[in-house]
Structure 1
Amino acid sequence: MYIIGIDIGKNHHEASIVSPEGKQIGHSLRFATTHKGADSLRKMYIRQTKNDSIDSFLIAEVIRFGQFTTTSMADENILAMRQLCRYRDSVISSRTEIKLRISTIMEQIFPEYEKQFSSLWLSTSMGILEKYLTPENIENAPIDELFEIIKDKSHNKLTMKKAISIREAASDTFGIKIAQDAFSFQLKQLIDRMNFLDKQIEALDCQILEYYEKFDCYLHTIPGIGMIAAATILAEIGDINRFKSSSALVAFAGIDPTVRQSGEFSSTHNHMSKRGSPYLRHAIFLAATTCSFHNSPLNAYYKKKREQGKHHLTATGAVARKLTTVIYAVLRDGKPYEPKSFC
Protein backbone atom coordinates (compact mmCIF):
# COMPACT_ATOMS: atom_id res chain seq x y z
CA MET A 1 0.00 0.00 0.00
CA TYR A 2 1.39 3.38 -1.03
CA ILE A 3 0.99 6.25 1.43
CA ILE A 4 0.62 9.96 0.68
CA GLY A 5 1.72 12.45 3.31
CA ILE A 6 0.47 16.03 2.89
CA ASP A 7 2.00 19.05 4.59
CA ILE A 8 -0.78 21.65 4.86
CA GLY A 9 0.07 25.29 4.13
CA LYS A 10 -1.84 28.57 3.76
CA ASN A 11 -1.30 29.10 0.00
CA HIS A 12 -0.23 25.64 -1.10
CA HIS A 13 0.17 22.08 0.14
CA GLU A 14 3.01 19.66 -0.43
CA ALA A 15 2.56 15.91 -0.86
CA SER A 16 5.02 13.02 -0.78
CA ILE A 17 4.41 9.40 -1.80
CA VAL A 18 6.04 6.61 0.19
CA SER A 19 6.19 2.95 -0.83
CA PRO A 20 5.32 0.13 1.62
CA GLU A 21 9.08 -0.24 2.19
CA GLY A 22 9.43 3.42 3.17
CA LYS A 23 11.06 4.68 -0.02
CA GLN A 24 9.97 8.07 -1.34
CA ILE A 25 8.55 7.77 -4.85
CA GLY A 26 9.73 10.60 -7.07
CA HIS A 27 9.81 14.17 -5.85
CA SER A 28 7.23 15.90 -3.71
CA LEU A 29 4.23 17.51 -5.39
CA ARG A 30 3.29 21.10 -4.58
CA PHE A 31 -0.33 21.94 -5.36
CA ALA A 32 -2.52 24.99 -4.80
CA THR A 33 -5.22 25.20 -2.14
CA THR A 34 -7.94 25.12 -4.78
CA HIS A 35 -10.18 22.47 -6.34
CA LYS A 36 -7.92 22.53 -9.38
CA GLY A 37 -4.92 21.93 -7.16
CA ALA A 38 -6.65 19.03 -5.42
CA ASP A 39 -7.52 17.53 -8.82
CA SER A 40 -3.86 17.57 -9.77
CA LEU A 41 -3.10 15.52 -6.63
CA ARG A 42 -5.94 13.02 -7.35
CA LYS A 43 -4.52 12.47 -10.79
CA MET A 44 -1.23 11.54 -9.08
CA TYR A 45 0.74 13.81 -11.39
CA ILE A 46 4.32 13.92 -10.04
CA ARG A 47 6.60 16.68 -11.33
CA GLN A 48 10.11 17.79 -10.50
CA THR A 49 10.46 20.52 -7.89
CA LYS A 50 13.51 22.41 -6.71
CA ASN A 51 12.63 22.01 -3.03
CA ASP A 52 11.45 18.61 -1.82
CA SER A 53 9.14 18.72 1.21
CA ILE A 54 10.74 16.90 4.13
CA ASP A 55 7.65 17.54 6.25
CA SER A 56 5.27 15.75 3.90
CA PHE A 57 7.69 12.79 3.69
CA LEU A 58 7.79 12.55 7.48
CA ILE A 59 3.99 12.70 7.63
CA ALA A 60 3.80 9.76 5.24
CA GLU A 61 6.31 7.87 7.39
CA VAL A 62 4.24 8.50 10.52
CA ILE A 63 1.21 7.04 8.77
CA ARG A 64 3.24 4.04 7.54
CA PHE A 65 4.32 3.14 11.06
CA GLY A 66 0.83 3.72 12.44
CA GLN A 67 1.95 6.41 14.89
CA PHE A 68 -1.00 8.73 14.34
CA THR A 69 -4.43 9.59 15.68
CA THR A 70 -7.52 10.54 13.73
CA THR A 71 -9.05 14.00 13.95
CA SER A 72 -12.75 14.58 13.37
CA MET A 73 -14.33 17.82 12.23
CA ALA A 74 -16.10 19.80 14.94
CA ASP A 75 -19.88 19.95 15.06
CA GLU A 76 -21.11 22.90 12.97
CA ASN A 77 -22.70 24.64 15.94
CA ILE A 78 -19.59 24.11 18.05
CA LEU A 79 -17.42 25.53 15.28
CA ALA A 80 -19.71 28.55 14.85
CA MET A 81 -19.78 29.20 18.60
CA ARG A 82 -15.99 28.85 18.80
CA GLN A 83 -15.52 31.42 16.02
CA LEU A 84 -17.82 33.89 17.77
CA CYS A 85 -16.22 33.36 21.19
CA ARG A 86 -12.73 33.85 19.81
CA TYR A 87 -13.84 36.95 17.95
CA ARG A 88 -15.42 38.25 21.16
CA ASP A 89 -12.08 37.74 22.90
CA SER A 90 -10.36 39.94 20.30
CA VAL A 91 -13.04 42.64 20.66
CA ILE A 92 -12.60 42.58 24.44
CA SER A 93 -8.84 43.01 23.94
CA SER A 94 -9.44 46.00 21.66
CA ARG A 95 -11.74 47.58 24.24
CA THR A 96 -9.16 47.02 26.98
CA GLU A 97 -6.53 48.80 24.89
CA ILE A 98 -8.87 51.77 24.37
CA LYS A 99 -9.59 51.94 28.09
CA LEU A 100 -5.87 52.08 28.80
CA ARG A 101 -5.52 55.00 26.38
CA ILE A 102 -8.42 56.87 27.96
CA SER A 103 -6.97 56.29 31.41
CA THR A 104 -3.56 57.56 30.26
CA ILE A 105 -5.07 60.77 28.88
CA MET A 106 -7.04 61.38 32.08
CA GLU A 107 -3.87 60.94 34.13
CA GLN A 108 -2.31 63.70 32.04
CA ILE A 109 -5.09 66.27 31.94
CA PHE A 110 -7.17 65.51 35.07
CA PRO A 111 -5.34 63.08 37.44
CA GLU A 112 -7.74 63.85 40.29
CA TYR A 113 -10.85 62.78 38.35
CA GLU A 114 -10.65 59.02 38.87
CA LYS A 115 -10.44 59.51 42.65
CA GLN A 116 -13.97 60.91 42.55
CA PHE A 117 -15.33 57.44 41.70
CA SER A 118 -14.71 53.85 42.70
CA SER A 119 -13.97 53.22 39.01
CA LEU A 120 -13.34 55.45 36.02
CA TRP A 121 -15.68 53.23 33.98
CA LEU A 122 -18.83 53.69 36.05
CA SER A 123 -21.75 55.03 34.02
CA THR A 124 -21.73 58.25 36.07
CA SER A 125 -18.06 58.88 35.38
CA MET A 126 -18.35 58.09 31.66
CA GLY A 127 -21.51 60.17 31.35
CA ILE A 128 -19.63 63.22 32.60
CA LEU A 129 -16.63 62.53 30.36
CA GLU A 130 -18.80 62.08 27.27
CA LYS A 131 -20.50 65.41 27.94
CA TYR A 132 -17.54 67.58 28.94
CA LEU A 133 -14.31 65.72 28.02
CA THR A 134 -11.91 68.15 29.76
CA PRO A 135 -11.56 69.61 33.30
CA GLU A 136 -11.93 73.12 31.84
CA ASN A 137 -15.35 72.25 30.44
CA ILE A 138 -16.39 70.64 33.73
CA GLU A 139 -15.27 73.73 35.64
CA ASN A 140 -17.30 76.01 33.37
CA ALA A 141 -20.41 73.83 33.32
CA PRO A 142 -23.53 75.03 35.20
CA ILE A 143 -23.66 73.15 38.48
CA ASP A 144 -27.32 72.21 37.98
CA GLU A 145 -26.52 70.70 34.55
CA LEU A 146 -23.61 68.71 35.99
CA PHE A 147 -25.80 67.49 38.84
CA GLU A 148 -28.56 66.34 36.46
CA ILE A 149 -26.08 64.06 34.66
CA ILE A 150 -24.79 62.69 37.97
CA LYS A 151 -28.30 62.11 39.30
CA ASP A 152 -29.47 60.41 36.13
CA LYS A 153 -26.45 58.13 35.63
CA SER A 154 -26.25 57.15 39.31
CA HIS A 155 -30.02 56.53 39.53
CA ASN A 156 -30.34 59.18 42.26
CA LYS A 157 -27.66 57.59 44.44
CA LEU A 158 -25.30 60.60 44.25
CA THR A 159 -26.13 64.08 45.53
CA MET A 160 -25.28 67.67 44.72
CA LYS A 161 -22.28 67.26 47.03
CA LYS A 162 -20.64 64.99 44.42
CA ALA A 163 -21.25 67.55 41.64
CA ILE A 164 -19.60 70.26 43.72
CA SER A 165 -16.66 67.97 44.57
CA ILE A 166 -16.03 67.12 40.90
CA ARG A 167 -16.19 70.75 39.80
CA GLU A 168 -13.82 71.83 42.58
CA ALA A 169 -11.37 69.11 41.56
CA ALA A 170 -11.58 70.32 37.95
CA SER A 171 -10.87 73.93 38.92
CA ASP A 172 -7.89 72.92 41.06
CA THR A 173 -6.44 70.15 38.87
CA PHE A 174 -2.71 69.68 38.57
CA GLY A 175 -3.08 68.30 35.05
CA ILE A 176 -1.78 69.65 31.75
CA LYS A 177 -3.64 72.83 30.82
CA ILE A 178 -2.34 73.32 27.28
CA ALA A 179 -3.36 71.57 24.03
CA GLN A 180 -6.82 70.91 25.48
CA ASP A 181 -8.42 70.76 22.02
CA ALA A 182 -6.13 67.92 20.98
CA PHE A 183 -6.78 65.95 24.17
CA SER A 184 -10.50 66.61 23.85
CA PHE A 185 -10.60 65.40 20.25
CA GLN A 186 -8.69 62.23 21.10
CA LEU A 187 -10.89 61.47 24.10
CA LYS A 188 -14.04 61.93 22.04
CA GLN A 189 -12.86 59.47 19.43
CA LEU A 190 -11.71 56.91 21.99
CA ILE A 191 -14.98 57.08 23.93
CA ASP A 192 -16.98 56.70 20.70
CA ARG A 193 -14.92 53.65 19.77
CA MET A 194 -15.38 52.15 23.22
CA ASN A 195 -19.15 52.64 23.04
CA PHE A 196 -19.18 51.02 19.60
CA LEU A 197 -17.23 48.01 20.88
CA ASP A 198 -19.61 47.73 23.85
CA LYS A 199 -22.51 47.42 21.39
CA GLN A 200 -20.58 44.82 19.39
CA ILE A 201 -19.93 42.78 22.52
CA GLU A 202 -23.61 42.98 23.47
CA ALA A 203 -24.63 41.71 20.02
CA LEU A 204 -21.97 38.99 20.14
CA ASP A 205 -23.21 37.81 23.53
CA CYS A 206 -26.73 37.39 22.12
CA GLN A 207 -25.43 35.34 19.19
CA ILE A 208 -23.20 33.19 21.39
CA LEU A 209 -26.03 32.44 23.82
CA GLU A 210 -28.29 31.42 20.94
CA TYR A 211 -25.76 28.75 19.99
CA TYR A 212 -25.08 27.69 23.58
CA GLU A 213 -28.78 27.10 24.23
CA LYS A 214 -28.81 24.56 21.40
CA PHE A 215 -26.71 22.23 23.55
CA ASP A 216 -27.86 20.21 26.53
CA CYS A 217 -25.00 21.66 28.55
CA TYR A 218 -24.82 22.45 32.27
CA LEU A 219 -21.46 24.19 32.58
CA HIS A 220 -23.22 27.39 33.64
CA THR A 221 -24.44 25.61 36.80
CA ILE A 222 -20.85 25.50 38.12
CA PRO A 223 -20.25 28.40 40.55
CA GLY A 224 -17.97 30.98 38.95
CA ILE A 225 -18.84 30.06 35.36
CA GLY A 226 -21.26 32.43 33.66
CA MET A 227 -23.17 31.74 30.45
CA ILE A 228 -20.59 33.30 28.11
CA ALA A 229 -17.71 31.57 29.91
CA ALA A 230 -19.64 28.29 29.68
CA ALA A 231 -20.13 28.79 25.94
CA THR A 232 -16.43 29.57 25.47
CA ILE A 233 -15.34 26.49 27.43
CA LEU A 234 -17.76 24.20 25.58
CA ALA A 235 -16.72 25.65 22.21
CA GLU A 236 -13.03 25.01 22.89
CA ILE A 237 -13.51 21.51 24.31
CA GLY A 238 -16.08 20.28 21.82
CA ASP A 239 -16.80 16.57 22.23
CA ILE A 240 -15.74 15.58 25.76
CA ASN A 241 -15.36 11.97 24.60
CA ARG A 242 -12.13 13.04 22.89
CA PHE A 243 -10.54 13.05 26.35
CA LYS A 244 -9.97 9.78 28.20
CA SER A 245 -9.79 11.46 31.60
CA SER A 246 -9.89 14.79 33.40
CA SER A 247 -6.07 14.76 33.35
CA ALA A 248 -6.17 14.74 29.56
CA LEU A 249 -8.47 17.77 29.61
CA VAL A 250 -6.18 19.55 32.10
CA ALA A 251 -3.27 18.92 29.72
CA PHE A 252 -5.30 20.16 26.74
CA ALA A 253 -6.05 23.38 28.61
CA GLY A 254 -2.33 23.76 29.33
CA ILE A 255 -2.76 24.14 33.09
CA ASP A 256 -0.85 20.99 33.99
CA PRO A 257 2.50 21.64 35.70
CA THR A 258 5.71 21.04 33.79
CA VAL A 259 8.23 18.76 35.47
CA ARG A 260 11.91 19.65 35.33
CA GLN A 261 14.05 16.69 36.29
CA SER A 262 17.72 15.89 35.76
CA GLY A 263 19.28 12.86 37.38
CA GLU A 264 18.12 12.87 41.00
CA PHE A 265 17.09 16.53 40.86
CA SER A 266 13.41 17.36 40.57
CA SER A 267 12.26 20.99 40.57
CA THR A 268 9.76 22.03 43.23
CA HIS A 269 8.96 25.30 41.45
CA ASN A 270 7.18 24.07 38.35
CA HIS A 271 5.19 26.27 35.98
CA MET A 272 2.14 25.50 33.88
CA SER A 273 2.89 23.92 30.53
CA LYS A 274 0.61 26.41 28.69
CA ARG A 275 -0.01 23.89 25.94
CA GLY A 276 -3.33 23.47 24.20
CA SER A 277 -5.98 26.14 23.73
CA PRO A 278 -5.10 29.58 25.14
CA TYR A 279 -8.78 30.56 24.85
CA LEU A 280 -9.84 27.63 27.03
CA ARG A 281 -7.06 28.33 29.53
CA HIS A 282 -8.04 32.00 29.75
CA ALA A 283 -11.73 31.19 30.30
CA ILE A 284 -10.95 28.61 33.00
CA PHE A 285 -8.57 30.97 34.80
CA LEU A 286 -11.13 33.77 34.85
CA ALA A 287 -13.68 31.36 36.31
CA ALA A 288 -11.10 30.05 38.81
CA THR A 289 -10.40 33.60 39.97
CA THR A 290 -14.13 34.12 40.59
CA CYS A 291 -14.35 30.81 42.47
CA SER A 292 -11.37 31.75 44.62
CA PHE A 293 -12.98 34.89 46.01
CA HIS A 294 -16.69 34.12 46.05
CA ASN A 295 -19.02 31.68 47.75
CA SER A 296 -17.92 28.43 46.16
CA PRO A 297 -16.58 25.07 47.36
CA LEU A 298 -13.38 26.00 45.56
CA ASN A 299 -13.05 29.12 47.72
CA ALA A 300 -12.15 26.91 50.70
CA TYR A 301 -9.64 25.06 48.52
CA TYR A 302 -8.02 28.36 47.52
CA LYS A 303 -7.79 29.43 51.19
CA LYS A 304 -6.22 26.08 52.08
CA LYS A 305 -3.50 26.59 49.48
CA ARG A 306 -2.84 30.11 50.72
CA GLU A 307 -2.57 28.83 54.30
CA GLN A 308 0.02 26.37 53.04
CA GLY A 309 2.12 29.35 51.98
CA LYS A 310 1.31 29.18 48.27
CA HIS A 311 1.48 32.37 46.21
CA HIS A 312 -1.85 33.78 45.00
CA LEU A 313 -1.18 32.76 41.38
CA THR A 314 -0.06 29.27 42.44
CA ALA A 315 -3.19 28.83 44.53
CA THR A 316 -5.37 30.10 41.67
CA GLY A 317 -3.64 27.66 39.33
CA ALA A 318 -4.50 24.83 41.71
CA VAL A 319 -8.13 26.01 41.74
CA ALA A 320 -8.10 26.11 37.92
CA ARG A 321 -6.96 22.48 37.78
CA LYS A 322 -9.66 21.40 40.25
CA LEU A 323 -12.25 23.39 38.31
CA THR A 324 -11.21 21.63 35.09
CA THR A 325 -11.92 18.25 36.70
CA VAL A 326 -15.38 19.55 37.62
CA ILE A 327 -15.91 20.76 34.04
CA TYR A 328 -14.89 17.32 32.77
CA ALA A 329 -17.35 15.56 35.09
CA VAL A 330 -20.28 17.86 34.21
CA LEU A 331 -19.69 17.42 30.47
CA ARG A 332 -19.10 13.67 30.78
CA ASP A 333 -22.22 13.03 32.88
CA GLY A 334 -24.45 15.58 31.13
CA LYS A 335 -25.88 16.67 34.49
CA PRO A 336 -25.94 19.92 36.50
CA TYR A 337 -23.12 20.54 38.93
CA GLU A 338 -23.45 18.97 42.36
CA PRO A 339 -21.54 20.78 45.15
CA LYS A 340 -18.81 18.88 46.95
CA SER A 341 -15.85 19.71 49.16
CA PHE A 342 -12.37 19.91 47.64
CA CYS A 343 -10.40 20.28 50.88
Structure 2
Amino acid sequence: MYHRKLSKYPTPEDMLSVDTETFTELLSEASRGRFSMSKASEIQESAANTFGVSFTNYAFAFQIKQIIAQINFIEKQLEELEPKISELLHQTNQVITTITGIGDVLGAIIIGEIGDISRFESAPKLVAYAGLDVAIKQSGDFVGTQTKISKRGSPYLRRAIWLAATVAAFKDPALSVYYQSLKARGKYHLTAVGAVARKMCNIIFAVLRDNKPYVPDIK
Protein backbone atom coordinates (compact mmCIF):
# COMPACT_ATOMS: atom_id res chain seq x y z
CA MET A 1 0.00 0.00 0.00
CA TYR A 2 2.78 2.43 0.97
CA HIS A 3 4.75 1.55 -2.15
CA ARG A 4 1.70 2.57 -4.18
CA LYS A 5 1.70 5.94 -2.41
CA LEU A 6 5.38 6.42 -3.15
CA SER A 7 4.75 5.59 -6.80
CA LYS A 8 3.07 9.00 -7.04
CA TYR A 9 6.55 10.55 -6.70
CA PRO A 10 8.74 8.67 -9.22
CA THR A 11 10.85 11.61 -10.41
CA PRO A 12 12.98 14.24 -8.61
CA GLU A 13 10.44 16.92 -9.53
CA ASP A 14 7.62 14.89 -7.97
CA MET A 15 9.64 14.38 -4.75
CA LEU A 16 10.15 18.12 -4.48
CA SER A 17 6.45 18.83 -5.01
CA VAL A 18 5.52 17.35 -1.61
CA ASP A 19 6.45 18.84 1.76
CA THR A 20 9.20 17.13 3.76
CA GLU A 21 6.89 16.09 6.60
CA THR A 22 4.52 14.22 4.27
CA PHE A 23 7.41 12.66 2.35
CA THR A 24 9.00 11.58 5.66
CA GLU A 25 5.79 9.85 6.74
CA LEU A 26 5.50 7.96 3.44
CA LEU A 27 9.17 6.98 3.47
CA SER A 28 9.01 5.80 7.08
CA GLU A 29 5.91 3.68 6.46
CA ALA A 30 7.29 2.20 3.22
CA SER A 31 10.61 1.32 4.90
CA ARG A 32 8.89 0.01 8.05
CA GLY A 33 10.57 2.62 10.21
CA ARG A 34 14.09 2.25 8.82
CA PHE A 35 14.17 5.74 7.30
CA SER A 36 13.16 8.98 9.02
CA MET A 37 13.16 12.72 8.36
CA SER A 38 16.94 12.87 7.92
CA LYS A 39 16.76 10.39 5.02
CA ALA A 40 13.74 12.16 3.50
CA SER A 41 15.59 15.47 3.64
CA GLU A 42 18.67 13.84 2.09
CA ILE A 43 16.60 12.42 -0.78
CA GLN A 44 14.88 15.73 -1.43
CA GLU A 45 18.21 17.57 -1.32
CA SER A 46 19.62 15.11 -3.86
CA ALA A 47 16.50 15.58 -5.98
CA ALA A 48 17.00 19.34 -5.94
CA ASN A 49 20.58 18.95 -7.18
CA THR A 50 19.82 16.29 -9.79
CA PHE A 51 20.30 17.11 -13.46
CA GLY A 52 16.89 17.21 -15.09
CA VAL A 53 16.41 15.26 -18.31
CA SER A 54 12.91 16.42 -19.12
CA PHE A 55 12.38 14.48 -22.35
CA THR A 56 13.05 11.16 -20.55
CA ASN A 57 11.06 11.95 -17.39
CA TYR A 58 7.96 10.16 -18.62
CA ALA A 59 9.90 7.00 -19.50
CA PHE A 60 11.72 6.96 -16.15
CA ALA A 61 8.51 7.62 -14.21
CA PHE A 62 6.72 4.81 -16.04
CA GLN A 63 9.58 2.39 -15.40
CA ILE A 64 9.71 3.23 -11.68
CA LYS A 65 5.95 2.78 -11.35
CA GLN A 66 6.22 -0.63 -13.04
CA ILE A 67 8.97 -1.70 -10.63
CA ILE A 68 6.90 -0.57 -7.65
CA ALA A 69 3.90 -2.50 -9.01
CA GLN A 70 6.08 -5.62 -9.24
CA ILE A 71 7.24 -5.14 -5.64
CA ASN A 72 3.63 -4.82 -4.47
CA PHE A 73 2.69 -7.99 -6.38
CA ILE A 74 5.60 -9.97 -4.88
CA GLU A 75 4.81 -8.72 -1.36
CA LYS A 76 1.18 -9.80 -1.77
CA GLN A 77 2.34 -13.25 -2.87
CA LEU A 78 4.63 -13.49 0.14
CA GLU A 79 1.76 -12.58 2.47
CA GLU A 80 -0.25 -15.44 1.00
CA LEU A 81 2.67 -17.89 1.11
CA GLU A 82 3.79 -17.36 4.71
CA PRO A 83 0.74 -19.02 6.35
CA LYS A 84 1.17 -22.02 4.02
CA ILE A 85 4.87 -22.23 4.87
CA SER A 86 4.04 -22.17 8.59
CA GLU A 87 1.41 -24.88 8.21
CA LEU A 88 3.73 -27.21 6.27
CA LEU A 89 6.64 -26.63 8.65
CA HIS A 90 4.54 -27.45 11.70
CA GLN A 91 3.40 -30.66 10.03
CA THR A 92 6.95 -31.81 9.32
CA ASN A 93 9.31 -30.27 11.90
CA GLN A 94 8.49 -28.10 14.88
CA VAL A 95 11.71 -28.26 16.92
CA ILE A 96 13.66 -26.00 14.58
CA THR A 97 11.58 -22.96 15.60
CA THR A 98 12.46 -23.46 19.28
CA ILE A 99 15.88 -22.00 18.45
CA THR A 100 16.07 -18.27 19.18
CA GLY A 101 15.86 -16.20 16.01
CA ILE A 102 14.40 -18.96 13.84
CA GLY A 103 10.76 -18.42 12.90
CA ASP A 104 8.60 -20.33 10.47
CA VAL A 105 10.04 -18.84 7.27
CA LEU A 106 13.71 -19.15 8.25
CA GLY A 107 12.97 -22.59 9.73
CA ALA A 108 11.47 -23.75 6.44
CA ILE A 109 14.50 -22.46 4.50
CA ILE A 110 16.91 -24.20 6.87
CA ILE A 111 15.03 -27.51 6.79
CA GLY A 112 14.67 -27.28 3.03
CA GLU A 113 18.41 -26.70 2.52
CA ILE A 114 19.61 -29.28 5.05
CA GLY A 115 17.14 -32.03 4.20
CA ASP A 116 17.89 -35.16 6.23
CA ILE A 117 20.30 -34.23 9.01
CA SER A 118 21.79 -37.72 8.89
CA ARG A 119 23.55 -36.61 5.69
CA PHE A 120 26.03 -34.83 7.95
CA GLU A 121 28.40 -36.83 10.13
CA SER A 122 29.01 -34.00 12.56
CA ALA A 123 28.21 -30.37 13.34
CA PRO A 124 31.43 -29.11 11.67
CA LYS A 125 30.26 -30.79 8.45
CA LEU A 126 27.04 -28.77 8.62
CA VAL A 127 29.01 -25.60 9.39
CA ALA A 128 31.13 -26.19 6.29
CA TYR A 129 28.06 -26.93 4.15
CA ALA A 130 26.58 -23.60 5.24
CA GLY A 131 29.87 -21.88 4.32
CA LEU A 132 30.22 -20.50 7.84
CA ASP A 133 33.59 -22.13 8.51
CA VAL A 134 36.62 -19.87 8.73
CA ALA A 135 38.58 -19.42 5.50
CA ILE A 136 42.20 -20.57 5.39
CA LYS A 137 44.74 -18.47 3.50
CA GLN A 138 47.80 -20.30 2.25
CA SER A 139 50.77 -18.82 0.40
CA GLY A 140 53.96 -20.84 -0.02
CA ASP A 141 55.00 -22.14 3.38
CA PHE A 142 52.71 -19.70 5.19
CA VAL A 143 49.33 -20.85 6.40
CA GLY A 144 47.16 -18.32 8.21
CA THR A 145 43.61 -18.23 9.46
CA GLN A 146 41.46 -15.34 8.24
CA THR A 147 38.47 -14.02 10.15
CA LYS A 148 36.32 -14.20 7.03
CA ILE A 149 33.88 -17.07 6.49
CA SER A 150 34.51 -19.36 3.53
CA LYS A 151 31.08 -18.85 1.91
CA ARG A 152 31.18 -22.34 0.44
CA GLY A 153 28.09 -24.54 0.24
CA SER A 154 24.50 -23.30 0.30
CA PRO A 155 24.12 -19.49 0.20
CA TYR A 156 20.45 -19.82 1.19
CA LEU A 157 21.27 -21.83 4.32
CA ARG A 158 24.10 -19.45 5.18
CA ARG A 159 21.88 -16.38 4.86
CA ALA A 160 19.06 -17.95 6.89
CA ILE A 161 21.39 -18.92 9.74
CA TRP A 162 23.13 -15.55 9.60
CA LEU A 163 19.81 -13.70 9.89
CA ALA A 164 18.82 -15.89 12.83
CA ALA A 165 22.21 -15.30 14.46
CA THR A 166 21.79 -11.51 14.26
CA VAL A 167 18.68 -11.91 16.42
CA ALA A 168 20.08 -14.58 18.76
CA ALA A 169 23.21 -12.49 19.39
CA PHE A 170 21.05 -10.08 21.36
CA LYS A 171 18.06 -12.15 22.50
CA ASP A 172 19.25 -15.68 23.27
CA PRO A 173 20.29 -16.11 26.95
CA ALA A 174 23.42 -18.11 26.03
CA LEU A 175 24.39 -16.80 22.61
CA SER A 176 24.03 -13.16 23.65
CA VAL A 177 26.55 -13.76 26.46
CA TYR A 178 28.90 -15.35 23.92
CA TYR A 179 28.44 -12.42 21.53
CA GLN A 180 29.16 -9.88 24.27
CA SER A 181 32.26 -11.78 25.37
CA LEU A 182 33.63 -11.58 21.83
CA LYS A 183 32.86 -7.86 21.64
CA ALA A 184 34.62 -7.36 24.99
CA ARG A 185 37.70 -9.01 23.49
CA GLY A 186 37.71 -6.42 20.72
CA LYS A 187 36.04 -8.43 17.95
CA TYR A 188 34.10 -6.54 15.31
CA HIS A 189 30.32 -6.91 15.19
CA LEU A 190 30.28 -8.99 11.99
CA THR A 191 33.09 -11.24 13.26
CA ALA A 192 31.16 -11.84 16.49
CA VAL A 193 27.91 -12.54 14.62
CA GLY A 194 29.80 -15.00 12.40
CA ALA A 195 30.97 -16.85 15.50
CA VAL A 196 27.40 -16.88 16.84
CA ALA A 197 26.23 -18.26 13.48
CA ARG A 198 28.72 -21.13 13.76
CA LYS A 199 27.49 -21.93 17.27
CA MET A 200 23.93 -21.79 15.96
CA CYS A 201 24.90 -24.36 13.32
CA ASN A 202 26.00 -26.66 16.12
CA ILE A 203 22.69 -26.08 17.88
CA ILE A 204 20.70 -26.78 14.71
CA PHE A 205 22.63 -29.99 14.17
CA ALA A 206 21.93 -31.22 17.73
CA VAL A 207 18.26 -30.19 17.68
CA LEU A 208 17.57 -31.91 14.36
CA ARG A 209 19.66 -34.98 15.18
CA ASP A 210 17.95 -35.55 18.54
CA ASN A 211 14.57 -34.12 17.45
CA LYS A 212 14.34 -32.27 20.75
CA PRO A 213 13.52 -28.62 21.45
CA TYR A 214 16.37 -26.20 22.00
CA VAL A 215 17.22 -25.30 25.60
CA PRO A 216 19.83 -22.53 26.02
CA ASP A 217 22.97 -23.75 27.78
CA ILE A 218 23.38 -21.04 30.41
CA LYS A 219 26.55 -21.31 32.48
Q: Does 1:173 align with 2:48?
A: yes
Paired position in structure 1 for 2:208: 331
- Is the 1:301–1:319 contact (alpha carbons within 8 Å) kept by the matching residues of 2? yes
Q: How far off is 1:139 after superposition?
A: 6.0
Q: Tell me by how many angstroms 1:216 deviates.
A: 3.3
Task: Kindly provide the amino acid, as one letter, of the partner of residue 83 in structure 2.
Answer: C
Q: Which residue of 2 aligns with 1:295?
A: 171
Aligned length, in residue pairs: 200
8 A contact 1:260–1:270 mirrored in 2: no
Instruction: Confirm or deny: 8 A CA contact 1:218 1:334 kept in the other structure.
Output: yes
Residue of 192, 196, 209 corresponding to 1:315 = 192
SS in 2 for 1:133: coil
Within-5 A mapping of 1:1-343:
124=2, 126-134=3-11, 136-137=13-14, 173-179=48-54, 180-260=57-137, 265-269=142-146, 271-292=148-169, 294-296=170-172, 297-341=174-218
Higher relative contact order (CA 8 A, sep 6+): 2
Give the CA deviation at 1:263.
8.8
Unaligned runs of 5+ in 2: 30-36
Deviation at 1:226, TM superposition (A): 1.7
Runs (5+) with no aligned partner, structure 1: 1-122, 155-161
C-alpha distance in structure 2 between counterparts of 1:196 and 1:252, whole Å: 33
C-alpha displacement of 1:135: 5.1
RMSD: 3.3
TM-score, length basis structure 2: 0.74
Distance 1:330 1:130, change over 3 A: same
How much identity, in percent, do the aligned residues show? 44
Q: CA deviation at 1:230?
A: 0.6
Q: 1 or 2, which has the higher helix percentage?
A: 2
Work out which of the two has the higher radius of gyration on C-alpha atoms and give 1 or 2.
1
**Higher mean C-alpha deviation, range 249-258 or range 317-326:** 249-258
Which shifted more, 311-320 or 224-233? 311-320
Over 3 Å counting, the alpha-carbon distance change for 1:266 and 1:131 in structure 2 is closer
